[in-house]
Chains A and B, each alone.
Chain A
């Protein structure tokens, strides 16, 4: 009897839970936000969490999506890479979110990738990265190397007439892969190996005397020299300070950086950086009506008029709008149907162009090169002619040259055009 009663009670309870779930489900669409709110990456990632909250807020004010309100589910993976995978599993399996916006570092993305593929989730990744990847379950709204690194090198080569190159990076996967691509690219353009110097320093490196002296020496061979910097985060400040102290100005040896944006500049003394370059797909200083509206919206939402906007924020803006369009087109939030609806969709970006989602799950982006000004903003000195389509697999690495990603026709993120084989989800 007891057992029967127990089963009965359990059944009623379960039904109750199920009922309440079923009740709650039609009301809201859950949107997962997977950004570190504590730890070393909190500085950059908290802003992105706020960006998505702002977009959700605005969408709800417009009446929501498919007649339902959007509901944000925020988790904190605390800059801890294995925790990213755990929190991703929690979002997908327990909270049953329809979509996740998240990750910053490549290592966090690699950590959540198996989870998203197993649970068939949908992740929008907003940061520039090293490429060599295309997952069915990830939409890459940040720049691939051909949308940031290669155009920046092209600019230096053609406009600044640079002949000698220092590739200076922090010792981890993004700089190493990017520099490998850049080295192959430079060599393909006829740069002699003796004119390329590659060097890595640890995270948070602060004693740059020897490196800067070496760069100075390398740059004094009578040929125009530039530094392509993939130095990450904190280490940039002492690096630029040392450049300034050793009297290397942007006119002598310009430094083009891929990880220094408005947000980073707001926390440091910009004097030593004046005139040095950065390559991005968006600058806060770009004067378009859409950008002005976005900045005003951001200031109103965050309630601080001096907060900056930056490139990954624009990527989230584009990603969110693409997702909304795809859901409206598919008339459901079912991941499979949304993924089918996504390729080919277009949405305006903030700089007056159109972002189109390509079959390889990357988007089209314009490329801008700017010089750092005293107020921590960028002065655009070059922009690409129209937008550049993102290329998942670099054409300049021997291994990835023949590989293609196409989720529309080939249904494969790693298709070898020579052997005609799809290697599935093998990103090595």
Chain B
């Protein structure tokens, strides 16, 4: 119960709940609690406020439980309990007064206290008051931000008190912003000027909106802010914030473009090897990615308790599954069709249908849900105007890593040397004692394995279903052709360029038109430069 004593102490320090000095009034607390049974959502918010004012030691647990859909009462005796989990049958109950275990109850013998978004918002603010004293800095920071959303006199008083004892500079800064925003409502012009001075370096939208309000005219035609000097300062501050915000939004668009580009590059690298280096038009490339995505799902089903780790395990697993499928395809079908592009196209298209139906038979036609691990959810907050989502950030990094790895394999290893030798001059390589058949299989396996790895990344971005491959096959061919067949660097630059151009156009043209514009531009480009951005030169180019 040490936690409660600490809580009590802090609340007492805050001077909010003088009643706390006495023994908690359990019957009153329970009486207010029981009002929740019949209440509508608005009434429930009022009751929650009332509960928090009782200062009972269980308030925080009860309100948190209510917010998380864990507060319920037993139908037989109408007694209230907290459940340990919001789901399951039976529920493990906790007594709301003593906070000790109170046995179990089957799910249909209890009634939950329902909440909606609005009510949860209110509860969050109330609970935030308690979280201010949390030893965890990030919890305190969140709490202050929650409180800023609904500022009133008591909240302000709590913030002022907290400001005196707060030691963490980030939390202190956030409290400072809150206090400055409150000062804007005050009567002292100099204080308001000082507040604007403090706020003008803040790029948050809320601050901007609040400052912009000063510049607006009220219903009677006069400015909301009467003082000319303050208004002028606010005007400059708003312009300053807007400038920064548009700068950050440009950075954001650039990042969106890079992330779309890296997805394009990732799905195209495998194809750049099989199509670019070997000259095989592999229509089943998309399905090899799909296999990679399903491998991720399978790995997650095998290790449901280690979702965070599963993605890392899935990468080599997907490489092996798709790579072996690729080798099998090459050995059984494609090697008989070298030099006959049309037949290869048709045969691999057939393989793609077979793979789709196989997956449909094993996993059903329904999409499978691949869980995003914690470390890939959410976003990296750089400041109030710019945040970068983790899953996209990791995929950009991952693409660059895969690209560097492939380059290293091709340029620095024995197999890479063989691959390059065979692709440049097959008969000469054969004469030098290279087993070209095995090199073909290994090359195709490598390209297919990379497709599988791309599938792992896609499983985090889109639906894992039998049709996943079809959605990406066109894009991957587009990137390879645009970049220049047979040139890995071309695929990288081409993919990134297409991603960025697409994202620059999207805000103005919309998603549908942006894609059309990119396709038209690509057609025009291929008309004038049929060999892509970086055409192969020299004798190697003539053979193809």
Contact = CB atoms under 8 A, between A and B. Distances in A.
Q: Which of A268, A272, A277 has the most CB of B within 10 A?
A: A268
B287 interface: no
Nearest to A237: B463
Contacts of B370: 269
Interface residues of B, number: 51
Contacts of A238: 461-463
B15 interface: no
Interface in B463-508: 463, 465, 467, 471, 503, 506-507
B369 A247 contact: no
A241 B390 CA distance: 12
B260 A207 contact: yes
A347 to B, nearest CB: 27
B308 to A, nearest CB: 14
A216 B171 CA distance: 24
B117 A251 contact: yes
Contacts of B392: 209, 245
7 contacts: A200-B511, A207-B263, A234-B463, A237-B462, A371-B116, A374-B86, A379-B69
A214 B510 CA distance: 11
A246 B260 CA distance: 16
Contact of B462 (A171, A206, A247, A373): A206
A184 interface: no
Contact of B465 (A210, A211, A234, A242): A234
B208 to A, nearest CB: 9
A42 B463 contact: no
A272 B124 CA distance: 18
Interface in B69-96: 69, 86-87
A202 interface: yes
A269 B465 CA distance: 14
Contact of A247 (B256, B379, B471): B379
Interface of B: 41, 69, 86-87, 114, 116-118, 120-121, 124, 205-206, 209, 213, 249, 252-253, 256, 259-260, 263, 365-372, 377-379, 387, 389-392, 461-463, 465, 467, 471, 503, 506-507, 510-512, 515
Interface string A229-257: 00000100110011011110011001000
B504 to A, nearest CB: 10
B256 A269 contact: no
A24 B317 CA distance: 58
B379 A200 contact: no
B444 to A, nearest CB: 28
A213 B252 CA distance: 9
B378 A247 contact: yes
Interface string A361-376: 0000000000101110
A201 interface: yes
A163 to B, nearest CB: 13
Contacts of A375: 87
Contact of A43 (B69, B249, B365): B365
B293 to A, nearest CB: 12
Contacts of A381: 41, 114, 116-117
A103 B521 CA distance: 39
Nearest to B506: A210
Nearest to A375: B87
Contact of A245 (B121, B124, B390, B462): B390
Interface of A: 40, 42-43, 159-160, 171, 199-202, 204-207, 209-211, 213-214, 217, 220-222, 234, 237-238, 241-242, 244-247, 250-251, 254, 266-269, 271-272, 275, 277, 371, 373-375, 379-381
B117 A241 contact: no
A275 B209 contact: no
A246 B392 CA distance: 11
Given A201-B512, A210-B507, A245 B461 contact: no
Given A206-B462, A241-B391, 10 more contacts: A211-B511, A213-B252, A238-B462, A241-B461, A242-B389, A251-B117, A251-B120, A251-B124, A266-B366, A373-B86
A250 B117 contact: yes
A245 B391 contact: yes
A379 B114 contact: yes
A246 to B, nearest CB: 6
Q: Which of A200, A214, A244, A245 has the most CB of B within 10 A?
A: A245
B205 A220 contact: yes
Contacts of B205: 220
Contacts of A267: 366-369
Contact of A159 (B114, B118, B465, B512): B118
Given A246-B379, A247-B387, A254 B117 contact: yes
Nearest to B213: A222
Contacts of A380: 114
A47 to B, nearest CB: 11
A210 B503 contact: yes
A269 B371 contact: yes
Contacts of B378: 244-245, 247
B244 to A, nearest CB: 14
A206 B371 contact: no
A238 B365 CA distance: 19
Contacts of B512: 171, 200-202
B436 to A, nearest CB: 39
B117 A269 contact: no
B366 A43 contact: yes
Nearest to B390: A245
A77 to B, nearest CB: 16
B22 to A, nearest CB: 35
A371 B387 contact: no
Nearest to B210: A222
Contact of A222 (B209, B253, B365): B209
A210 B508 CA distance: 11
A84 B377 CA distance: 42
A237 B367 CA distance: 10
B124 A202 contact: no
Contacts of B87: 373-375
Contacts of B259: 209
B511 A202 contact: yes
